[in-house]
């Protein structure tokens, strides 16, 4: 009989296999997409070992020895999902031919935004960076279709309530009459767009230029590069979470 100490939780095993972040893997299990030794598993407490057969969406998964950390400059028009039921262009397709490992995005950028997004097959790394307690800075450059309201930057730093949701950025600096730099920590869904919409300010372009200590640099839209070991370690050190 397999010793208990040689087993790990199913969602942890899936994350180490590069399926998705641990949190996303939990949802895969709850949705009935995971089969262990011929049985569908929909409970989160199940543990597995290396001798167990685990299938996700009918495909057997394996532990991946090589951990990958990739920075992509996502162009507009691509969604951050491993697949899309509406058959839209998927960001991971821009890098999948470069790597044999199964990679997934850490966090998201909406379809109409561009810029920095990280892909990995390291579940622990993804979980630490995406956990709310990480407080990892994300910097954006926003270009608008009309002049910025004079109070927008200050109001956003103080906090703006929209439909009972409170939005506040860490920093906002006007670069010119139609361009502003915004730094977020929490980053609620479509936060910048909702704040600008509340002030009737149209967005011409929204680009994420930095995640923590990692910037886009000279990467053009659609281009990608491997993160260095130093960059990976620095990102993890920036995360405030100790346990997750």
Catalytic residue numbers, as ranges: 110
Q: Which residues pair with 87 in a beta bridge?
A: none
Contacts for 15 with CB less than 8 Å, ≥ 6 apart = 21, 22, 25, 123, 124, 126, 127
CB proximity list for 172: less than 8 A, separation 6 or greater: 152, 153, 154, 156, 157, 180, 181, 182, 183
Sign of the torsion angle spanned by Cα atoms 187, 107, 235, 14: positive
CA atoms of 198 and 191, how far apart (whole Å): 11
CB 199 within 8 A of CB 153: no
Structure tokens that stand for 56 in this block: 């996700």
Cβ atoms 77, 44 nearer than 8 A: no
């Amino acid at each position: 009989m397999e010793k208990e100490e040689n087993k790990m939780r199913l969602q942890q095993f899936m994350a180490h296999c590069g399926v998705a972040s641990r949190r996303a893997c939990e949802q895969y299990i709850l949705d009935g997409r995971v089969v262990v030794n011929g049985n569908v598993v929909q409970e989160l407490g199940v543990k597995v070992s290396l001798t167990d057969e685990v299938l996700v969406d009918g495909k057997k998964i394996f532990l991946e020895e090589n951990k990958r950390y990739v920075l992509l400059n996502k162009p507009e028009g691509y969604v951050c999902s491993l697949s899309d039921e509406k058959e839209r262009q998927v960001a991971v397709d821009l890098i999948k031919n470069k790597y044999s490992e199964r990679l997934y995005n850490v966090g998201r950028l909406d379809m109409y935004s561009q810029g920095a997004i990280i892909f990995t097959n390291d579940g622990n790394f993804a979980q630490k960076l995406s956990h709310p307690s990480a407080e990892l800075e994300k910097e954006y450059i926003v270009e608008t279709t009309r002049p910025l309201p004079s109070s927008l930057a200050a109001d956003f730093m103080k906090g703006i309530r929209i439909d009972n949701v409170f939005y506040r950025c860490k920093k906002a600096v006007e670069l010119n009459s139609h361009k502003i730099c915004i730094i977020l920590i929490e980053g609620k869904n479509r936060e910048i767009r909702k704040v600008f919409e509340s002030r009737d300010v149209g967005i011409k372009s929204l680009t994420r230029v930095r995640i923590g200590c990692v910037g886009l640099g000279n990467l053009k839209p659609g281009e990608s590069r491997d993160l260095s070991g130093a960059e990976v370690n620095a990102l993890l050190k920036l995360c405030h979470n100790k346990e997750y």
